[in-house]
Structure 1
């Protein structure tokens, strides 16, 4: 499900180009900090109206006190944001932004953590959107603590670096500076001319990543018959049933991630839903001792027998957090979890989670 948030960012209005809506693509592997960066953009709105297209609006988290009104398709916020739900592909989502009565000055698009950013970029360069938008830059977030091309063995993870104009080396506070230096050297081997910045909790001055004019569209048009075709053929020949998605395989951001860019690199997602609460001690033991090492990312809503609260769960690499939240009025209490990894035994994980439920 793709959603839109209308926000303001701290960019001098004179810096925004007048020809075509400028677009920034934010990409990065699972758990790298994309959602935190979007939160940063949402919380630093000054002067320029920015629409943010994201995969799941709920991940960003909006303070309930900011909500003026809400219906099935739109959330209006007191800070001027208008958040729209869009159930179609990227082109249609952008059209909905462009057709708004309220003028939009800037567009930010977040890819999924397993997506190759090139097909997204080519949507703006090679469709009718090229006459109405201007691709400003691709910003790639890298998890300094967990990033490993060897571990992921992923074309998408490599291409996120290779096509990044700006690379944010994130979570540097969790890693020794010497290790960050080595990682930066390795990234330079992949993308020599990228602008690399080190960040903590995705905090970066917005003028350094928005409206920077770093994307060189001519370079990508030159690759149209080679690199682009290679990428699309690579994705499309692996699953002939999805041939009709070629060229748009990363634009239909469905709520579940059972799409080509998962299976291409051996990734699978496992969903678990239960109307029974977890036992805190049992779930803690599972996460600490039994979770497979090839699970790279997990997220969800937790309900514990021992607590009346709603809990938000995020796991990235070996690190996980469980944050207290409140159940909304009329909201059904249930556990909902998604695990993403390479060659994981989904049935085994589901069975282990069943054993963690309160009996």
Structure 2
């Protein structure tokens, strides 16, 4: 439940309103790690169709079903070419940013000892170098949520950036 903040003539500390950590890349990395660890295969695709739910009908839904909304997860080993991944992501944002509601990932980029952690909403993408890989296996994990996502095209484009 949302916390109620009392205000006097609309005066509220701006950090209270905006300090939600929406672009906290450490939190994003943790979320991607959790999502990736629950997957035992290298892809995951959800179609949010009404027929896919396994539940008894006769109750009210608290959400709207949109058969065009799906998620695509790609988990793979290997290092990415920095120029290739930048070019592919730029092209993807130019062509499909309106349909990509959310994306996040942890990437293994060639030449970097640290993981690259990023997240995006539509055409707004933010990322930074995260903690070092150390002895951990360098595994790329990326998730897209959006409308009319072409899983094969996303997979092919991403994989083409691997060395």
- Identify the TM-score tier after normalising by the shorter chain: 0.5 to 0.7
Alpha carbons 1:39, 1:60 under 8 Å: kept:
no
Matched, 1:242 2:44: no
Match of 1:304 among 94, 105, 109: 109
Q: Secondary structure at the match of 1:326?
A: strand
Q: Which has the higher contact order (CA 8 A, sep 6+)?
A: 2
Question: Are residues 275 and 59 of structure 1, via their aligned partners in 2, closer, same or farther at CA, if it must alter by over 3 Å?
Answer: same
- Tell me if 1:339 matches 2:128: no
Distance 2:20 2:58 in 1: 28
Query: For residues 4-46 of structure 1, what are the alpha-carbon distances to aligned partners after superposition, in whole Å with 9 as ceiling and x for unaligned?
Result: xxxxxxxxxxxxxxxxxxx317xxxxxxxxxx74439xxxxxx
Corresponding residue to 1:59 among 28, 41, 54 = 28
Aligned-residue RMSD, C-alpha: 3.4
How far has the Cα of 1:265 moved from its partner?
A: 5.1
Separation in 1 of the partners of 2:126 and 2:79? 18
| Inter-CA distance 60–333: structure 2 relative to 1 (3 Å threshold) | closer
| Equivalent residue number for residue 21 of structure 2 | 39
1:264 aligns with 2:69: no
Aligned equivalents of 1:275 and 1:246: distance in 2? 45
In structure 2, what is the Cα distance between the partners aligned to 1:335 and 1:60?
11
Deviation for aligned residue 1:346? 0.8
Q: Which 5+ residue runs of structure 2 have no aligned equivalent?
A: 4-17, 31-47
C-alpha distance 312-241 of structure 1, shift in aligned 2 (>3 A): closer
Structure 1 residues 299 and 247: CA distance shift in structure 2, 3 A: farther
Give secondary structure in 2 for the equivalent of 1:24: coil
Give matches, 1:283-322, under 5 Å: 283-291=85-93, 292-293=96-97, 294-322=99-127
| 1:117-136 deviations in Å (ceiling 9; x for gaps) | xxxxxxxxxxxxxxxxxxxx
Q: Is the radius of gyration larger for structure 1 or structure 2? A: 1
Q: TM-score, normalised by structure 1?
A: 0.31
Q: Distance in 2 between matches of 1:276 and 1:60?
A: 18
For structure 1, the residue ranges without an aligned partner over 5 or more in a row are 1-22, 26-35, 41-56, 62-234, 251-259
Return closer, same or farther for 1:246/1:239 CA change in 2, 3 Å cut-off.
Answer: farther
Contact kept, 8 Å, 1:301 with 1:311, in 2: the verdict is yes
Counterpart in the other structure of 1:277: 79
Secondary structure of the residue aligned to 1:350 is: helix
Provide the residue aligned with 1:357 in structure 2.
162
1:247 and 1:310, CA in 2 relative to 1: closer, same or farther beyond 3 A? farther
Judging by fraction of residues, say which structure has more helix: 1
Q: Is the 8 A contact 2:113 2:134 kept in 1?
A: no
Partners of 2:133 and 2:61 lie apart in 1 by 34
User: Structure 2 length normalisation: TM-score?
Assistant: 0.63
Deviations 1:148-204 (Å, cap 9, x if unpaired)?
A: xxxxxxxxxxxxxxxxxxxxxxxxxxxxxxxxxxxxxxxxxxxxxxxxxxxxxxxxx
